[in-house]
């Protein structure tokens, strides 16, 4: 479903992605973990060309795009196959919660307003925002904003959804809800790439985990292998804090 | 001190008032056309459209650089000269005297205000957050759709105070059109003033009329701004510490 | 013939250019004061404290909504009369002072709206962050908000500086001979003959000045842009 | 305005910076020269107790300035009418004349007086100034068959003369001296088709300046009496306009 | 050190804080948990008057402020006793990383530049940003921005630090570092209030935990009690997701 070949990205002299190769199958839930600044967000943003890779090829759902200056039309096609949940939510400031979710449906997917509204309301209900549909983003708490971002991406029902730390502002309860939703849509065959720092979440959600460090993929595989029996020293060290004193285990 | 002959001013007030429609006509039409062209120019500059970008940079610089009166003169004296030339060369019979001076004025003011407005829009579009554009892309919008539905509405809110400035400036600037025979508020006032050298009175009358006129638009702009800003976490509410 | 008319033209250009320093001086001094006025009025209007807000709004309305010419008359003819009532005689002041007062008050009003909109574009989070590290409002304003607002406002400032440049020609009304005044005197001495050459010349001078202003603004914009992301990137 | 300098009373004289040669215009250094200034020099000699300061300003601004007392008086070719006399103080004695004329194409003989211009076309004129005032008062006296006038803020005489020469307007109403000077440079196919009037021109005082006005009146009368102003007139206009119109027509202007 | 009495806050008709009473002792690390939208951020923001409570009294370090319209000077005094780490970081966009941290020291605490620079560099080193000191916030990853925010607050060395989800964008490794720093400064007697969704973090960092729901404090106490033996039904339900299948426990 997604294929990345030799993706390189520089910010000025800073070499942030150093030749990433990655394949994701249809219906996979791929979780990317790794230390802060290792290039996870950048990689995710390359997949829908919000960041233009300096080099490399990206295919989504059989459609490939290459290099730094593909045609506008190619980029648009690629983007219409994906949806994204941003690390900083990026809600449309001038639209209400409901409009934020409807916007893509009406404009990009050409649905009628009433259709779009129905879908949006159902999703907002699912993420617990039924009461806030007519508020503006500036009136929401952090977690509420993040949930709107999730609903907005889900509503589009694309081939691929890219999540950038989708649960960072959510409480454990809500994380559970989001996890349930993700599992459900994965079962519908939608492919997901999720960047997260919550190892628990990774374990619960993923059927494949990738560990990135300093712009390269260090280790990947089944969550059991990667998270429980890590091979590389760097990954072991990264997961160290998760080992805690037994008294606190519930 | 009764330097000012109020009775005279009051008596001639209605006469000067007759200049208002012409003033408004020129100001409103030029403003609307200016917004459209200004927006196009701003976008060409922000997206650095090849060649066009160069051209509009020179356009903006030239139009802003040249005094309004010169622009008016160039059109007012230049178009008839051009027509004469065309008539001579091609045997047509275009008659520049048929063109109302108001038309010249509108063209001149549109050209002028478009240049200024392009800068206003450039500023406000640049002030919108790049994350907004990215979010629009991520839900599958084209650049045009994203601009129309997300970026421009936000930019418009930011530019409202400046658009207000421009429009009010434009209303007053129309007084220059007197230089090409358009008799608007200031022109009427000066004509009346001449008979008794009552310039003081008539300038005050003109000032009062301009004020009333602009005040209406000031209020309109303020209300528009309040309405359009409702989605924002305001910096100007209860933040004075 | 050609060369003599060219040297005539050069002579004309020099006479106009001779007055450029005066025009620039009026521009510079008025701009300085109007920026101060603009910032103060903008902040007063943003803070919305009833009395000062009402005064600032009235000032704004009057200055924006009445012709500069009338204001110039009020300052030049009216103000001294008014002050005479309280036994202050400023009739002897140089005309330059009156012109600068009028231009500063007028442009200050316009700039206040430019600054207000830029201020509001900066975003509340920046103000809060400044508060959270213990800054007072004025410190936050000077160090965090205004620098960011300044960048946002630059193109609009450019607009208004150029307007001010051209407005300075009104100084001629009360007899200060600036570049436009020089042109009108030359025209008058010629009974309006050669109007096109003369206006062409003055346009060149204005445009040239304008290009300099634009480039300065452009450089500032580039210099200050560090760390900002445009929607077009 | 009673400020004093070196023991002398200061008189602030507003000069119109929309210059108007040869009455009033400027030299290379923008110093005022012309008939008006020479006249003022003679006045200064006669009234040593005053110190005259000259300030340029736009004509309309000057009038506002005189009105509000900022200036003592304004000099230019101001015309007198009853309405203006209500607002300003006009002296008794004019200091010169403006000879107004109609200028047409050389081959036309149908325009001699303003009556001939009814139904014909003038080029656009400024709303203020003495010439306009004459036409306005003509229209006030002949409400049934008024002249058609178009108004423009700053009329360009050069442009307007061209309009007449090109047949876009029938005749222009102009000061003879102005036309003469311009014709020297422009050499258009135009002539003076008729002198319309000899208009006295005045300085305009602030209402309160009666004392000074009287003194200047007296001085002016003396200057006319002793022929000083006649000499000045000949210097600047090649003709003594203090003589009557017929004389001027014979002696002064040999129209092409 | 901190005392809140009967704090109420409305947003229009939305009653967000419904009479909060809270006491925090010197050197305490108080962790606030609760579902998204329950009013945690609002409460934190009330403590330094970024949000004006409609009613109630706030004392910090013996200095109290009351009601909706206290004097400017009182608010400034209050704020100079506290520092804050924002949920959305709120870095100064026009300042580099180093300047962001130095700003408060130079302006509010009147340190010399060189002093401020020394302190700032040391802290930035601690949070792993030594390499980024001259970058602007827009050039940083989410986690890097968050760390700048933390360094900025710590540098001020105030009586009280308020953290709003300080680790939401941090990887487990970094969370460990931050935890260590927090423990260290707590031992120096600085009082901390931390809003977080990471129960693990709460457990490790806190010596008192408060559970908020819908604008009221539902339960509070030692982390052992509150997190391991919750009394209220609502809290039990909230913590439910934390109970996981044993196979995944490391
Ligand atoms: N500026 C505002 N205007 C209107 N309502 C607001 C505003 N800020 C917050 N709210 C509302 O107040 C409630 C509490 O918000 P708050 O940000 O305190 O929640 P929170 O507990 O921090 O949630 P989260 O964990 O999601 O950050 C929410 O329902 C939110 O919608
Ligand atoms: N716009 C930019 N300009 C310059 N450098 C950038 C930019 N965006 C990111 N970087 C740098 O690229 C590196 C990778 O950033 P990225 O955002 O991909 O990290 P990340 O893995 O998502 O980290 P986090 O977990 O903290 O979000 C970082 O070192 C960051 O400083
Ligand atoms: Mg990231
Ligand atoms: Mg919160």
C-alpha span between D89 and E24 (Å, rounded): 85
**Is residue A59 included in any domain, yes or no?**
yes
- Residue C15's alpha-carbon distances to A133, A203, C11, C182, D34, in angstroms, are 68, 82, 6, 8, 21
Structure tokens of C233?
């990137």
Whole-number pLDDT of residue E242: 63
C-alpha span between A78 and B140 (Å, rounded): 9
The closest alpha carbon to C138, from A218, A193, E76, belongs to: E76
pLDDT means over runs of 10, chain B (241 residues): 75 91 94 96 93 95 91 84 84 79 92 96 91 91 92 93 95 86 86 84 92 94 90 58 36
pLDDT of A247 over the 50 cut: no
- Calculate helix-pair angle for A113-126, A142-155, nearest 10 degrees: 130
The 10 Å CB-count burial string (b at 16+, else e) for E169-187 is bbbbbbbbbbbebbeebbe
**Is residue E188 included in any domain, yes or no?**
no
Q: Is residue B194 within 8 angstroms of chain D, CB to CB? A: yes
pTM: 0.90
Q: Which of A10, A20, A40, A212 to mutate to test the pocket of ligand 2 (most atoms within 8 A of CB)?
A: A40
Nearest protein CA to atom 13 of ligand 1, as residue: E37
User: Least CB-CB distance to C116: which of B65, B161, B203?
Assistant: B161
Q: How many domains does chain E have?
A: 1
Q: Could you tell me if the CB of E140 is within 6 A of ligand 2?
A: yes
In three-state secondary structure terms, E234 is helix
Contacts of E70 (CB under 8 A, 6+ apart): E49
Nearest protein CA to atom 4 of ligand 1, as residue: A139
**Is residue A103 included in any domain, yes or no?**
no
User: Least CB-CB distance to B139: which of A93, A136, A152?
Assistant: A152
Q: Which of residues 2-31 of C touch B (CB under 8 A)?
A: none
Q: Which residue has the higher pLDDT, D81 or A222?
A: A222
| pLDDT tier at E243, thresholds 50, 70, 90 | low
In three-state secondary structure terms, B53 is helix
C-alpha span between B189 and B172 (Å, rounded): 14
C-alpha span between B102 and E204 (Å, rounded): 77
For the segment A228-233, the average pLDDT, to the nearest whole number, is 90
**Is residue A37 included in any domain, yes or no?**
yes
Residue A88 with chain E: CB contacts under 8 Å: 88, 142
Closest ligand (CA of A146): 1
**Residue B114, CA atoms < 13 Å, CB-side half-sphere:** 24
> The domain containing residue A208 runs over which residues?
1-81+162-171+197-250
In three-state secondary structure terms, C138 is helix
ipTM: 0.89
Which ligand 2 atom is nearest residue E140's CA?
31
Helix (H) or strand (E) holding D112: none
Q: What percent of chain E has pLDDT over 70?
A: 96
C22-175: CATH class: mainly alpha
Cβ–Cβ gap E169/A173 under 8 Å: no
Ramachandran region, residue E165 (left: φ > 0; alpha: ψ -120 to 50; beta: rest): left
CA A164 / ligand 3 centre spacing (Å): 7
Using a CB–CB cut-off of 8 Å, the residues of C that contact E are 125-126, 128-137, 139, 143-144, 147-148, 151, 224, 226-229
| pLDDT tier at C29, thresholds 50, 70, 90 | very high
Q: Is residue C195 within 8 angstroms of chain B, CB to CB? A: yes
Number of helices (H), then strands (E), in chain C: 11, 0
- Beta sheet of A55-60, edge-to-edge order: A14-24, A2-11, A55-60, A63-66
pLDDT digits (tens, 9 = 90+) for E64-95: 999 888 998 999 999 999 999 998 899 999 89
**Residue C45, CA atoms < 13 Å, CB-side half-sphere:** 25
> Domain holding A75: CATH number?
3.40.50.300
Domain definitions of chain B by residue range: 20-184
Contacts of D132 (CB under 8 A, 6+ apart): B194, D125, D126, D149
Q: Is residue C51 within 8 angstroms of chain B, CB to CB? A: no
User: Least CB-CB distance to A50: which of B137, B139, B143?
Assistant: B137
CB atoms within 10 A of CB B32: 12
CATH of B20-184, one of 1.10.3470.10, 1.10.3720.10, 1.10.1200.10, 1.20.120.80: 1.10.3720.10
Nearest protein CA to atom 8 of ligand 1, as residue: A139
Is C206:B66 a contact under the CB 8 Å cutoff? yes
User: Least CB-CB distance to D151: which of B97, B183, B198?
Assistant: B183
Q: Could you tell me if the CB of A42 is within 6 A of ligand 2?
A: yes
Q: What are phi and psi of C135, to 5 degrees?
A: -80, 150
In three-state secondary structure terms, C187 is helix
pLDDT digits (tens, 9 = 90+) for E125-172: 999 999 999 999 999 999 999 999 999 999 999 999 999 999 888 888
Q: Which residue ranges of chain D lie beneath pLDDT 50? A: 1, 252, 254-256
DSSP state at residue D78: E
């Amino acid at each position: 479903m997604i294929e990345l070949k030799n993706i390189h990205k520089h910010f000025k002299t800073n070499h942030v992605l150093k030749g990433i190769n990655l394949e994701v199958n249809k219906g996979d839930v791929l979780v990317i973990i790794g230390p802060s600044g290792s290039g996870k967000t950048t990689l995710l943003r390359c997949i829908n060309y919000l960041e233009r890779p300096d080099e490399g090829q990206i295919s989504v759902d059989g459609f490939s795009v290459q290099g730094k200056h593909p045609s506008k039309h190619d980029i648009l096609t690629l983007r219409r196959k994906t949806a994204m949940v941003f690390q900083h939510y990026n809600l449309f400031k001038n639209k209400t919660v409901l409009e934020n979710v409807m916007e893509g449906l009406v404009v990009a997917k050409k649905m009628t307003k009433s259709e779009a509204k129905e879908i949006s309301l159902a999703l907002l209900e699912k993420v617990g925002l039924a009461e806030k549909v007519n508020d503006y983003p500036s009136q929401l708490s952090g977690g509420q904003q993040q949930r709107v971002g999730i609903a907005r991406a889900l509503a589009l029902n694309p081939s691929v959804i890219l999540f950038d730390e989708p649960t960072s502002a959510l409480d454990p309860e809500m994380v559970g809800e989001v996890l349930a939703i993700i599992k459900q849509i994965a079962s519908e065959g939608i492919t997901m790439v999720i960047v997260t720092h919550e190892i628990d979440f990774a374990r619960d959600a993923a059927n494949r985990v990738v560990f990135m460090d300093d712009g390269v993929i260090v280790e990947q595989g089944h969550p059991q292998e990667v998270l429980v029996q890590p091979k590389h020293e760097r990954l072991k060290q990264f997961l160290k804090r998760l080992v805690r004193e037994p008294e606190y285990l519930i | 001190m009764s330097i000012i002959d109020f009775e005279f001013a009051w008596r001639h007030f209605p006469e000067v008032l007759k200049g208002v429609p012409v003033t408004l006509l020129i100001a409103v039409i030029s403003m609307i056309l200016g917004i459209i062209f200004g927006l196009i120019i701003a976008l060409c500059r922000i997206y650095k459209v090849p060649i066009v970008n160069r051209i509009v940079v020179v356009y903006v610089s030239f139009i802003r650089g040249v005094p309004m009166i010169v622009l008016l003169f160039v059109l007012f004296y230049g178009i008839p000269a051009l027509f004469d030339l065309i008539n001579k060369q091609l045997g047509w019979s275009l008659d520049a005297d048929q063109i109302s001076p108001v038309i010249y004025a509108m063209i001149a003011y549109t050209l002028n205000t478009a240049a200024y407005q392009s800068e206003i829009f450039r500023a406000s579009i640049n002030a919108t957050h790049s994350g907004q554009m990215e979010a629009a892309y991520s839900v599958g919008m084209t650049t045009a759709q994203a601009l129309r539905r997300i970026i421009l509405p936000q930019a418009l809110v930011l530019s409202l105070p400046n658009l207000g400035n421009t429009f009010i400036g434009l209303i007053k600037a129309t007084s220059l059109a007197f230089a090409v025979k358009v008799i608007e508020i200031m022109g009427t006032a000066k004509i009346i003033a001449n008979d008794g050298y009552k310039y003081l009175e008539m300038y005050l009358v003109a000032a009062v009329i301009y004020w009333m006129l602009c005040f209406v638009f000031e209020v309109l702009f303020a209300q528009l701004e309040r309405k359009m800003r409702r989605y924002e976490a305001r910096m100007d509410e209860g933040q004075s510490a | 013939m050609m060369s003599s008319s060219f040297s005539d033209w050069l002579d004309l250009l020099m006479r106009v250019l001779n007055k450029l320093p005066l025009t620039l001086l009026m521009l510079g001094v008025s701009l300085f004061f109007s920026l101060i006025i603009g910032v103060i009025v903008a902040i007063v209007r943003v803070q919305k404290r009833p009395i000062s807000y009402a005064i600032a709004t009235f000032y704004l309305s009057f200055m924006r909504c009445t012709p500069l010419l009338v204001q110039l008359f009020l300052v030049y003819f009216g103000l001294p009369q008014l002050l005479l009532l309280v036994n202050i005689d400023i009739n002897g002041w140089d005309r330059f002072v009156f012109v600068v007062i009028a231009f500063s008050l007028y442009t200050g009003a316009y700039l206040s709206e430019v600054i207000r909109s830029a201020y509001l574009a900066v975003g509340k989070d920046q103000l809060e962050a400044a508060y959270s590290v213990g800054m007072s409002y004025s410190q936050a304003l000077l160090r965090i908000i205004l620098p960011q607002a300044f960048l946002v406002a630059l193109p609009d400032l450019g607009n208004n500086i150029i307007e001010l440049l051209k407005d300075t020609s009104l100084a001629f009304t009360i007899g200060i001979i600036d570049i436009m005044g020089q042109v009108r005197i030359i025209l008058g001495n010629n009974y309006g003959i050669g109007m096109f050459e003369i206006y062409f010349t003055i346009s060149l001078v204005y445009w040239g000045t304008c290009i300099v202003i634009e480039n300065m603004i452009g450089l500032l914009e580039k210099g200050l842009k560090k760390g900002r992301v445009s929607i077009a990137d | 305005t009673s400020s004093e300098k070196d023991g002398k009373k200061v008189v602030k004289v507003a000069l119109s910076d929309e210059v108007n040669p040869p009455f009033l215009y400027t030299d290379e250094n923008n110093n005022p020269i012309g008939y008006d200034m020479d006249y003022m020099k003679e006045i200064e000699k006669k009234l040593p107790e005053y110190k005259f300061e000259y300030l340029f300003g736009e004509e309309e601004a000057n009038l506002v300035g005189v009105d509000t007392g900022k200036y003592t008086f304004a000099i230019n070719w101001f015309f007198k009418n009853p309405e203006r006399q209500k607002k300003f103080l006009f002296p008794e004695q004019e200091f010169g004349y403006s000879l107004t004329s109609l200028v047409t194409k050389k081959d036309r003989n149908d325009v001699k007086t303003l009556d001939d211009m009814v139904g014909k076309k003038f080029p656009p004129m400024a709303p203020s100034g003495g010439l306009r005032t004459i036409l306005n008062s003509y229209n006030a006296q002949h409400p049934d068959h008024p002249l058609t006038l178009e108004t423009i803020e700053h009329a360009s005489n050069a442009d307007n003369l061209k309009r007449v020469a090109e047949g876009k307007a029938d005749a222009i109403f102009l000061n003879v001296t102005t036309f003469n000077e311009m014709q020297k440079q422009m050499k258009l196919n135009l002539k003076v088709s008729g002198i319309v009037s000899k208009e006295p021109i005045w300085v305009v005082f602030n209402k309160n300046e009666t004392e000074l006005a009287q003194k200047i009146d007296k001085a002016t009368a003396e200057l006319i009496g002793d022929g000083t102003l006649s000499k000045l007139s000949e210097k600047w206009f090649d003709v003594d306009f203090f003589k009557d119109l017929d004389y001027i027509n014979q002696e002064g202007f040999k129209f092409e």
